[in-house]
Amino acid sequence: MAISDFLLGVFCLPFTLVGQIYRRFLFGAVLCKLIPFLQAVSVSVDVWTLVAISLERYFAICRPLKSRKWQTQCHAYKMIAMVWILSIILNSPILIVSDLQPMRGNGK
């Protein structure tokens, strides 16, 4: 979750700020596809990680004896990998549909 928060800070805040100040996208076609994808992946990883933590806590509280058998470090690593893979796959259409287009009227 810390890595996704770091990605959010690196790929969301500066690029959004510059875009709002200059009212246009200055970073080229590659970053036009990559920035929204990385922003969506980092938000998605944050949300799904919180869901996984909530589910783990629910089972630890409601079914403590059963949950001790499967709540291991190996299971945690598998859940982290699954969250990242799922987030990347579900947000991959952003890479396909994002396209840099000129603004109408002012030739930029």
Whether pLDDT at 4 is above 70:
yes
- Relative orientation angle of helices 28-62 and 2-11, to the nearest 10 degrees: 150
pLDDT of residue 106: 60
- With contact defined as beta carbons under 8 Å apart, do 53 and 79 qualify? no
Local structure of residue 103 (DSSP, 8 states): P
Local structure of residue 57 (DSSP, 8 states): H
Instruction: Give this prediction's pTM.
Output: 0.77
When the pLDDT of each residue in the chain is averaged and rounded to a whole number, the result is 84
* Segment 26-58, tens digit of pLDDT: 777 777 788 889 889 999 999 999 999 999 999
- Reading the block at residue 9, the tokens are 């800070």
